[in-house]
Amino acid sequence: MTDIKAFSDQVIANLEKVIIGKRQSIEWIVIGLLCQGHVLIEDVPGVGKTMLARSLARSLACTFNRIQFTSDMLPSDVTGVSIYNQQKNKFEFRPGPIVGQIILADEINRATPKTQAALLEAMEERQVTVDGVTHILPKPFMVMATQNPIEYEGTYPLPEAQLDRFLLRLRLGYPSVSDEIRVLDDQQIHHPLEELKPIVKLKEILQVIDAVKHIYISPAIKRYIVELTTHTRQSADVYLGASPRGSLSLARAGQARAAMLGRDHVLPDDIQALAIAVLAHRIIVSPSARLRDLSSDRIVQEAIYATAVPGGEFSSEPLRKKIK
C-alpha cells in the first residue's frame, strides 16, 4: 500500500500548488481518480472548480476536454458525429469532447435532459455509441461536473439516473482570509498552473487504480455499508433512498481512502468519513421534509448515528493465518 500512498501524496502535493487550502476536497478528487469514479462539484462561481480539473489533468499528463453546457446543446455536441468522407467513400467518426481522459462538464445542469442523457453511457460503460457504432473511451476516464446551486433560472435538475453515476459530490467553499491572500500573491505575476508539471506516467496511474481494487474489505464492513445504505431508504423523510450502486461506490471509496492512508484494509472510519459525500446526492428528500429544511446530508448523518458500528478485526491478517 506504500506505492498507492506515495502516489496519492505526490498528486495531492502537486494539486496544492494551484488549489490553496482545500486539502479535503483534493483528497476526495484523488479518491475519485483511484476508483475511476466521477465527481460532482456543487459550488458558486470563482472558487476554483475549473482550475482543479485542469490541474489534475496536467499533473497526470492526461488529455483534458472542457464541455460548456448550454440549453441549446445537442447530444452530438457531446458524443461526436459521423461525417461522410467523399474521397474515401465512407463515414468517419469525429469524436466529441467526451472522448478524453479528464472531462470537465461545466454547468452541467444548464443542458436539456436529452443532452444530459448523452453522458449516461459514457459515465457508466466507458463508451459512446454513435450511429450504431460503439467507441471505447480511453483510460483513465473521469468526468468532473460542476453546477451552481444558487442560480436556478435556465437550469434543468439532474435526473436521478445521472446523479447516481457520480461517485462523490463535494463543495469547495470559499477560502479563508489567509488562503485568499496567498492566492493573490501566487497569481500576481503569473498563474501557478503555467508551471505545473506532470508527475506520474500513464502506466503508474493504471497500476495504482488496479491495486486499489485489492484492498481488503471484511464481511463486517460490507454488512455495515449495506445497513447504512438501507437505512437511507427506510427513513420517513426520504422519497427515494440510496441505490445498491451507492453501496458499491461507498465500498470502493473506502478502499481508496484506506490505501491513501497506507492501510491494506478498510475501517468503519473510512466509511463514515465518506458516507455523506457518496450517498447524500443519491437521496431524494420528501416534500414534507423539504418544507422543514431537512437536507439529504442530514439524513445520511442520522443514518450514521442510527447504524451500529461493527467491532472485531477488520484486517486480512487473521484470514492469512487461517489459510496457512
How many whole angstroms separate alpha carbon 17 and alpha carbon 263?
Answer: 26
Does residue 133 register a pLDDT over 50?
yes
Amino acid letter for position 62:
C
Of 140, 156, 170, 163, the closest CA to residue 64 belongs to 140
Q: Look at strands 166-170 and 38-42 and give their pairing.
A: parallel
Per-residue model confidence (pLDDT) at position 228: 92
Alpha-carbon distance of 257 to 251, in angstroms, equals 10
Omega before 140 cis (within 30°)?
A: yes
Domains of the chain: 1-213 (3.40.50.300), 216-317 (1.10.8.80)
Burial class (CB in 10 A: 0-12, 13-18, 19+), 98: buried
Joined together, the cell numbers standing for residue 38 give 466521477
With CA atoms as reference, report the closest residue to 246 among 300, 320, 176, 191.
300
Whether pLDDT at 70 is above 90 = no
Distance CA 136, CA 242 (A): 29
| Per-residue pLDDT at 149 exceeds 80 | no
Single-letter amino acid, residue 26: I
Mean pLDDT of the 265-275 span: 92
Say yes or no to pLDDT of 320 above 60: no
The answer to whether the CB of 201 falls within 8 A of the CB of 61 is yes
Higher pLDDT residue, 68 or 132?
68
Task: Give per-residue pLDDT as tens, 181-210.
Answer: 988 888 888 888 888 888 888 888 999 999
Q: Per mean pLDDT, which range of 24-33, 36-45, 219-228 is the poorest? A: 36-45
Q: What is the pTM of this model?
A: 0.88
User: pLDDT category, 252, cuts 50, 70, 90?
Assistant: very high
The per-residue pLDDT for range 277-307, each reduced to its tens digit, is: 999 888 888 888 777 878 888 888 888 998 8
The span from the CA of 299 to the CA of 276, in Å, is: 9
